[in-house]
Amino acid sequence: MKKKLLSVLLTGALAASMFVGCGTSTETTDTPSDAGTETESTEEAGSTAAGGTKVGVAMPTKDLQRWNQDGDNMKKELEAAGYEVDLQYASNDVQTQVSQIENMINSGCNVLVVAAIEGSSLGEAMDMAAEKDIPVIAYDRLIMNSDAVSYYATFDNYKVGQVQGQYIIDKLDLENTTDTFTMEITAGDPGDNNAGFFYNGAYDLLKEYIDNGTLVVKSGQIEFAEVATPAWATETAQSRMETILSSNYANEDLDVCLCSNDSTALGVENALASNYKGEYPIITGQDCDIENTKNMINGKQSMSVFKDTRTLASQVVKMVGQILSGEEVDVNDTETYDNGTGVIPSYLCEPVFADADNYKELLIDSGYYTEDQLK
Ligand code: BGC
């Protein structure tokens, strides 16, 4: 396990940690931003970071629903704990994210929480954080090849894939059947370290059924590199599936679409809606995005995996507090996530199976969505 020495904390950060819980009065202001940059920042009017502890939160994009929820939750929870928050969204543009992180460092952020657009492209900004001894928590997506990363907080990404794979096995009773079924696979962004974990989690369970011919992938596209979806884009997943449908499923039903997440599942669902006449396949997803949850309710998507972003935000806020006060940081995995410089101590939250039968309890009763949002 990688040893992370965080003993050299900024004096300001230490002093400021005493403010935690004191409820600094904050005011939301729009900060000037580069073209295409989505910015949201809170700062005590007229103050500098020296007056309090400031946490920089770098999120990838506002285009996908989950990151808006993650950003909102982080901001709310950090502010409730008394921190100043500099929350930035980078429109899925790597260079924008690098500049945003550099600005956070220059403006005196004491801790950085970063959900990387591309895990391997934050080198410069990470070097700068390391030089200034600013602790970095990789949020949901691991930052690769940098020893500036102190901790990683995410969901159990391999398990997400397993939940999807096991669902397909159970739904089709693959262990006992003598039938064969057609399946196509849509995975995530190759620049996102999570994408391989999701794919492997499902593939490791389904491989034996592909190998013994129970699951037939007519497109022949099985390897991660063949089924990946750059930037997790719905449109890319849609156009790829349109091609697959017209080439392979004009006269035959497609039984299963293993999709790594909801944005790609939505693309597949759009392709099916316009290019497919047969019986609707089993479709997997992840995130319980609003559009996908509606599709689950309408019978167009079979399942999703709920990752309660409130739980992740609470855990990260707890870790920020522990880092700043020099306490032992709460981790539950010190083996799985090697970012190329060693294993990063991680906290993995539990992903939960979701479908049309349990969504009310998971999503509405828990206050994650209102009933109206799903109409
Ligand atoms: C997250 C998923 C999300 C995907 C696309 C991944 O890193 O873990 O929850 O669906 O990015 O935003």
CATH topology match: 5-154+308-349 vs 157-307: yes
Q: What are phi and psi of 368, to 5 degrees?
A: -70, -45
pLDDT tens, position by position, for the chain (375 residues)?
Answer: 343 444 434 333 333 333 333 222 222 223 333 333 444 544 433 333 334 899 999 999 999 989 999 999 999 999 999 999 999 999 999 999 999 999 999 999 999 999 999 999 999 999 999 999 999 999 999 999 999 999 999 999 999 999 999 999 999 999 999 999 999 999 999 999 999 999 999 999 999 999 999 999 999 999 999 999 999 999 999 999 999 999 999 999 999 999 999 999 999 999 999 988 888 999 999 999 999 999 999 999 999 999 999 999 999 999 999 999 999 999 999 999 999 999 999 999 999 999 999 999 999 999 999 999 999
Q: Which bin fits 299, alpha (ψ -120 to 50), beta or left (φ > 0)? A: left
Q: Is the CB of 66 under 6 A from ligand 1?
A: yes
Best residue among 64, 65, 66 to mutate for probing ligand 1's pocket (most ligand atoms within 8 Å of CB) is 66
Q: Is the CB of 192 under 6 A from ligand 1?
A: yes
5-154+308-349 folds as Rossmann fold (3.40.50)
Question: DSSP string covering 251-286, please?
Answer: SS---EEEESSHHHHHHHHHHHHHH--SPPPEE--S
- Kindly report the CATH number that applies to the domain delimited by 157-307: 3.40.50.2300
Boundaries of every domain in the chain:
5-154+308-349, 157-307
Q: What are phi and psi of 151, to 5 degrees?
A: -145, 165
Q: What are phi and psi of 350, to 5 degrees?
A: -85, 125
Which has the closest alpha carbon to 129: 156, 98, 153? 98
Q: How far apart are alpha carbons 349 and 99 in whole angstroms?
A: 30
Contacts of 257 (CB under 8 A, 6+ apart): 183, 184, 185, 186, 241, 265, 268, 272, 281, 282, 283, 284
Q: Is the CB of 240 under 6 A from ligand 1?
A: no
Taking the model in full, what pTM does it have?
0.87
Question: DSSP string covering 119-180, please?
Answer: TTS-HHHHHHHHHTT--EEEESSPPPS-TTEEEEEEE-HHHHHHHHHHHHHHHTTTTT----
